[in-house]
Amino acid sequence: MPLPGEKGACAELLRAKIARREVKLCVMGLGYVGLPLVHAATDAALFTFGLDTEAERIEALRGGRSYLKHAESSWIQPAVTEGRFIPTQELSCIREADAILICVPTPLTESRDPDLSCVVSATEQITSHLRSGHLICLESTTYPTTTRDVVLPVLERSGLKHGTDFFLAYSPERVDPGNKSWSPRDIPKVVGGLSGEATELATSLYQLFLRTVVPVSSAEVAEAAKVLENTFRAVNIALVNEMKILCQRMGIDIWEVIDAAKTKPFGFQPFYPGPGLGGHCVPIDPFYLTWIARRYGLTSRFIELAGEVNTSMPEHVVETLISALSARKLPVRGSRVAVLGLAYKPDIDDARESPSYYMIDLLLRRGAIVTYNDPHIAVMPTSHNSNLPALLSQELTAEYLSAQDCVVIATAHSDYDYAFIVEHSQIVVDTRNATRDVNRHRDRIVKA
């Protein structure tokens, strides 16, 4: 083991371990980002510790089970049995590992400022076990300068120095839960270190188990690229949501408009409207960018306006629903409303930041009797919105649908039989154009 301060020796030892594929990984945080990363690493026969604070997750993984419905389980038991994967809560594994990949949440505070408490906590845990020769890569989405200004000072409290004793890089997670076309190993991986050597080492590491690695000149470039990706998406969704409202007032079908526009072979990329943004990235990441912009004396008006448009969409859907009830001389208070889909996107069990929560909250406040169905979420996680009562997913039967005054399609799960839903419902408020191929009873369908 190189001694602290022995210039060049730590990098050479780490470089040799990577070249011989003997490098040991520690993935901190085994959620939607960390667990697929472990899958890719163990498939490439890399020894990997999976470190998480939740005992239930560790128990499930040791038993060969995935707790993420969209993530397969078949790889877990062989990886555990063969000793390639060790799920653990023991922080001592950090010292044994050569490379630590930080995959912890980066939410917002109640005032919509960045909450880096999980990143700082993980970094402090690493610092307590930091040794010479470590490579640390932050993967959590954050604002530019986080790696250098937040993570690095905590690590250097150990007395070890970056570039001599350890190496630090940023490589933003890129995952799309439920997307079977792109696995983590196939998605190009951007990597930027705090030095050229850190970039080189991190790039070599990721190349062991990912197909394409894209090195950039600094951690700040990698951090900015990630928030740009998701802000780009948020802004364009806001544009099409605003266009949707205009088209509705003019009696034009926005989805037909988009289908027509996307026939142009250049200069247009289709984005689709909905009841609001969901997931851990797109609704949150633009606020990381606006926050750092304020620190540099700038107001990111375009991004903030997009945020306002997107966060207003659940209310737009509810107002459309109220109008549909009023057309049948029904008040919203006392009306039975079924929300179909709690997950923020089709065919997954992730309800983080789901617009369904906001719609349910708005409807309850207006006196509606609200229930929900989601084939992937049996019990509504109230941790995402503590104001809501605990609800159970209702069985989607003809009797259940016909007993509702209004049914809202909030998530376009492929499990749903939309013709059946329309057939047995009185009013269907479709926020996803999910009923586009339903031919019968189209007078019951209201698009929102």
pLDDT of residue 181: 78
pLDDT category at 123 given cuts 50, 70, 90 is very high
Distance of CA 238 to the CA centre of its chain: 18
pLDDT tens by residue, 176-207: 777 777 888 899 999 999 999 999 999 999 99
Average pLDDT of every residue of the chain:
93
pLDDT category at 388 given cuts 50, 70, 90 is confident
Residue with tokens 């040799």: 16
Residues of the chain above pLDDT 70, percent: 98
In this model, does residue 151 exceed pLDDT 60? yes
pLDDT of residue 121: 97
pTM given for the model: 0.89
Residue 4 identity: P
CATH level 3 topology of 218-311: Rossmann fold (3.40.50)
Residue 240 identity: V
pLDDT category at 5 given cuts 50, 70, 90 is low
For residues 178 and 176, give the distance between their C-alpha atoms in angstroms, rounded to a whole number: 6
In this model, does residue 96 exceed pLDDT 80? yes
For residues 275 and 409, give the distance between their C-alpha atoms in angstroms, rounded to a whole number: 9
Closest alpha carbon to 401 in 411, 409, 389, 412: 409
pLDDT tens by residue, 324-364: 999 999 999 999 999 999 999 999 988 988 999 999 999 99
Coil/strand/helix, residue 181: coil
Closest alpha carbon to 254 in 443, 444, 430: 430
CA distances from 171 to 215, 418, 445 (A): 9, 41, 45
Exposure string for 310-333, b = 16+ CB within 10 A, e = fewer: bbbbbebbbebbbebbeeeebebe
For residues 344 and 176, give the distance between their C-alpha atoms in angstroms, rounded to a whole number: 12
In this model, does residue 412 exceed pLDDT 90? yes
Superfamily of domain 312-448: NAD(P)-binding Rossmann-like Domain (3.40.50.720)
In this model, does residue 285 exceed pLDDT 60? yes
Task: Please pick, among 10, 103, 118, 281, the residue that the annotation labels catalytic.
Answer: 281
pLDDT of residue 385: 66
Counts of helices then strands in the chain (DSSP H, E): 17, 13
Rg of the chain in Å (alpha carbons): 24
Sequence spans of domains, the chain: 9-217, 218-311, 312-448
Residue with tokens 């009013």: 427
Exposure string for 262-298, b = 16+ CB within 10 A, e = fewer: eeeeeeeeebebbbbbbbbbbbbbbbbbbbbbeeeee
Tell me whether the CATH fold assigned to 9-217 matches the one assigned to 312-448: yes
Kindly tell me the burial class for residue 16, based on how many C-beta atoms sit within 10 Å of its own C-beta (0-12, 13-18, 19 or more): exposed
In this model, does residue 386 exceed pLDDT 80? no
Superfamily of domain 9-217: NAD(P)-binding Rossmann-like Domain (3.40.50.720)
In this model, does residue 74 exceed pLDDT 80? yes
Residues 6+ apart with CB under 8 A from 169: 135, 136, 137, 138, 147, 191, 192, 193, 194, 198, 199, 201, 202, 219, 222
CB-based contact 130:96 (threshold 8 Å): no
Task: List, in sequence order, the alpha helices (H) in 156-250.
Answer: 196-207, 219-250
Closest alpha carbon to 137 in 147, 129, 127, 145: 147
Joined tokens for residue 171 = 């490589």
170 strand-pairing partners: 138, 192
In this model, does residue 104 exceed pLDDT 70? yes
> What angle, rounded to 10 degrees, do the helices at 219-250 and 285-295 form?
120
- Starting at the edge strand found earlier in the chain, the sheet holding 213-215 runs 85-88, 48-51, 25-28, 99-102, 134-138, 166-170, 189-193, 213-215
In this model, does residue 1 exceed pLDDT 60? no
In this model, does residue 261 exceed pLDDT 70? yes
For residues 393 and 91, give the distance between their C-alpha atoms in angstroms, rounded to a whole number: 38
Residue with tokens 């188990």: 209
Instruction: Say whether 247 is catalytic.
Output: no
26 strand-pairing partners: 49, 100
Lowest mean pLDDT among 264-278, 283-297, 397-411, 423-437: 283-297
pLDDT category at 105 given cuts 50, 70, 90 is very high
For residues 426 and 53, give the distance between their C-alpha atoms in angstroms, rounded to a whole number: 47
pLDDT of residue 18: 97
